Amino acid sequence: MEISKKHFDVVIIGSGLGGMVCGTILSKEGNRVCIIEKNEQIGGSLQTFKREGVTFDTGVHYIGGLSKENSLYKIFNYLGIMQRLETARMDEEGFDVVMFKDDIEEYPYGMGYENFKRILLSKFSDEEEVIEKYCSDMKRICDSVPLYNLREGEIENMEMLSTSAKDYFEQLTPNKKLQNVLAGTNLLYAGTEKTPLYVHALVVNSYIESAYKIKNGGDQIVKLMARIIKENGGEVLRKHDVKSIDVENGNAKSVTLSTGEKIEAEVFISNIHPAKTLAMTETDAIRPAYRNRISSLENSISTFVLYLILKPSIFPFRNRNYYYFNEENVWTCVDYKPDNFPSMYALFEEVPEKQNEFTEAITVMTYMRFDEVEKWKDSFNTTLEESNRNEEYQEFKKQKAEKLLDTIAVKFPNIRDCIQSYYTSSPLSYRDYMGTVDGNMYGIVKDFNDPMKTMISVKTKVPNLFLTGQNINLHGVLGVTESALVTCGAVIGKEYLLNKILGANKN
Ligand SMILES: Cc1cc2nc3c(=O)[nH]c(=O)nc-3n(C[C@H](O)[C@H](O)[C@H](O)COP(=O)(O)OP(=O)(O)OC[C@H]3O[C@@H](n4cnc5c(N)ncnc54)[C@H](O)[C@@H]3O)c2cc1C
């Protein structure tokens, strides 16, 4: 693709959701924006792929907070994409279902706090007080985060940053089953013993408020944004790899691409991992101590994903996601041993293309650490540079897929009979497509023991270089979109931006 201009108001490195939201906002504000993406497709974790006519999402299976009264709806409405987004509301009687190996009971999460409480009470009839307290705690925590509610101001309850999610559940109730059910969707944030309670609250609350799937792939979101950026005179460049951010006299002046071309701008926003951003920015303004701090932060675990294409009219579409655990301790799954793989899984049904009562495809995710694929770390495979790595790697993936299928069969005994064909991805796929070092799912790990260490400012010591994306504030569609508001707020003013969003939602 030809680059028509060499100077823009804003250059954004990476077309992940964070970069695209920033690009859309700043282009709506009259800036000429250039998004630079290394991949063939835009969207980062929102990319999709097609096999045998079926579209699969690689990194977004459902979204919380898309009802009219919710913040994400309001932001998407302001951005101009909400009306054109094709969504499917999930089952209000149980959009998520938690299951355990040795328990025939299923534990659905109802949509809306009233449904949520009613359905849980039907499973835990003696626990009304605990369930009430849990719901009011979640609402209180979310209410104390102004941005989550599109309000100006600082977090009102700093103490919650250093509260452990696991400790909270243990103090909430001695009922282990209820603890595990309430934290049973913690794959959504790769929950570990380090996870702060606010991360659980912000993520899970958004889905309890409302849970939607995006029809025909989550990449719809970024495609709609790309259209707006272009309509506003901007450019979205694909297949362009940024190699460096060039600083002159303390300010970022240009980015250099792998082709050697330079693109200049007044403002630069990096949507890639902060450690990578700093590594490509040579300047004394960024001190070695800061570089070391950022590069030493732990990243979240990666994933192994099984994409199943199903035989026609065989697997009923339930409009629910299933979270399954081998053992009744949801906080240790990340630390699985290869012999115990998979420790858990989450199963997502693709919304049928035609209004059909059967789904055509299922995606199943489980944890996988990068060390399991370390052997093949020198290989590289994306649609721009294809390789099947090697036979041994293909065999490794097949064995993992078969183990995962055995585990799925515990609750879905006829699963193998339903499968037409399957495909898999490993931490290497996520590493190569996202440009991270380890294929991590959700960026930098948040730790309640030292919450300030993992808080990264959107501003850098280079005054016109800003950061955005899941490593900054919170991951997920909602978290990343709100991170982008913080980034754009630092460029054009947060109060101004929030007023624009609220103004666009007045009627
Ligand atoms: C398996 C999986 C399942 C998930 N499921 C859900 C879900 O159901 N719901 C939900 O809300 N969230 C989900 N998430 C989280 C969500 O998808 C992410 O938090 C979010 O999309 C990350 O956005 P980002 O802006 O940080 O950018 P990323 O998606 O990390 O994108 C960064 C972009 O930068 C590009 N890039 C990197 N280096 C360069 C370079 N040198 N030059 C140019 N471009 C570069 C990359 O190619 C990429 O496109 C999931 C994530 C994963 C991995």
Span 17-33, pLDDT tens digits: 999 999 999 999 999 99
The number of the ligand 1 atom at minimal distance from the alpha carbon of 440 is 53
Q: Compute the average pLDDT of residues 132-155.
A: 95
Judge residue 49's burial from the number of C-beta atoms within 10 Å of its C-beta, 0-12 exposed, 13-18 middle, 19 or more buried.
middle
pLDDT at 158: 80
pLDDT band at residue 216, thresholds of 50, 70 and 90? confident
Q: Is the pLDDT of residue 355 over 70?
A: no
Q: What is the pLDDT of residues 393-434, one digit of tens each?
A: 999 999 999 999 999 999 999 999 999 999 999 999 999 999
Question: How far away, in angstroms, is 443 Cα from ligand 1 center?
Answer: 9
Predicted local confidence at residue 116, as pLDDT:
98
Nearest to 302 by CA among 58, 62, 482, 98: 58
Q: Is the CB of 18 under 6 A from ligand 1?
A: yes
Residue 155 has what pLDDT?
84
Q: How far is the CA of 126 from the centre of ligand 1 (A)?
A: 42
CB 333 within 8 A of CB 193: no
Q: Is the peptide bond before 196 cis (omega within 30 degrees of 0)?
A: no
- Mean pLDDT of all residues in 197-214: 97
CA–centroid distance, residue 43 to ligand 1 (Å): 7
Backbone angles phi, psi at 391, to 5 degrees: -60, -40
Atom of ligand 1 minimally distant from the CA of 45: 29
Burial class for 77, CB neighbours closer than 10 Å (0-12, 13-18, 19+): middle
pTM over 0.95: yes
Task: Using CB atoms within 10 Å of the CB of residue 21, give its burial: 0 to 12 exposed, 13 to 18 middle, 19+ buried.
Answer: buried
Which is nearest to 143 in space by CA: 209, 190, 211, 66? 209
**Residue 274 CB–ligand 1 contact under 6 Å:** no
Ligand 1 atom nearest residue 441's Cα: 53
Contact present, 48 and 56 (Cβ < 8 Å): yes
Is residue 17 helix, strand or coil? helix
Q: If you average pLDDT over every residue of the chain, what do you get? A: 95
Do residues 227 and 211 lie in contact, with contact meaning Cβ atoms separated by under 8 Å? no
Q: How far does the centroid of ligand 1 lie from the alpha carbon of residue 214, in Å?
A: 16
**Nearest CA residue ID for atom 34, ligand 1:** 14
User: For 270, phi and psi rounded to 5 degrees?
Assistant: -105, 125
Q: How far is CA 376 from CA 45, 431, 439, in A?
A: 22, 12, 13
Ligand 1 pocket, residue 15 CB under 6 Å? yes
426-450 pLDDT, tens digit per residue, is 999 999 999 999 999 999 999 999 9
pLDDT at 342: 97
What's the pLDDT at 352? 87
In 357-463, beta strands by DSSP E: 361-368, 419-425
What is the pLDDT, as a whole number, of residue 6? Answer: 87
Nearest by Cα to 479 from 111, 28, 45: 45
C-beta 273 within 6 A of ligand 1: no
pLDDT at 322: 98
- pLDDT(41) > 60: yes
Across 171-185, average pLDDT: 98
SS (H, E, C) 132-153: HHHHHHHHHHHHCCHHHHCCCC
Q: Which tokens hold the place of 437? A: 């070092």
pLDDT tens sequence across 227-238: 999 999 999 999
pLDDT-derived band at 160 (thresholds 50, 70, 90) equals confident
What pLDDT, on the 0 to 100 scale, is given for residue 374?
95
For residues 342-367, give the mean pLDDT: 92
CA–CA separation, 273 vs 469, rounded Å? 8
- CA dist 225 and 223 (Å) reads 5
Identify whether the C-beta of residue 433 lies closer than 8 Å to the C-beta of residue 384.
Answer: no
Domains in the chain, CATH or no CATH each: 7-49+65-86+215-297+442-504 (3.50.50.60), 105-209 (no CATH), 301-441 (no CATH)
User: What does the pLDDT read at residue 387?
Assistant: 87
Give 295-318 pLDDT, tens digit per residue.
999 999 999 999 999 999 999 999
**For position 5, what pLDDT does the model report?**
65
Q: What is the mean pLDDT of residues 262-269?
A: 98
- Has residue 2 got a pLDDT over 70? no
Average pLDDT estimate for 66-88:
97
| pLDDT mean over 90-103 | 98
Quote the CA–CA distance of 84 and 486 in Å, as a whole number: 25
Residue 319, Ramachandran bin (φ over 0: left; ψ between -120 and 50: alpha; else beta): left
What three-state secondary structure class fits 194? coil
User: Cα–Cα distance between 240 and 151 in angstroms, integer?
Assistant: 37
Count of CA atoms in the C-beta half-sphere (13 A) of 239: 7
Per-residue pLDDT tens digits for 238-250: 999 999 999 999 9
- Give the residue, by CA position, lying nearest to ligand 1 atom 5: 60
Whether 48 contacts 26, CB under 8 Å: no
Rounded to the nearest angstrom, the distance between the alpha carbon of 384 and the centre of ligand 1 is 18
- Whether residue 1 has pLDDT greater than 60: no
CA distance 415 to 308: 10
Provide the CA 220 distance to its chain's centre, in angstroms.
Answer: 15
From the CA of 311, how far away is ligand 1's center (Å)? 30
* Predicted local confidence at residue 59, as pLDDT: 94
Residues with Cβ within 8 Å of 354's Cβ and at least 6 positions away in sequence, in order, are none
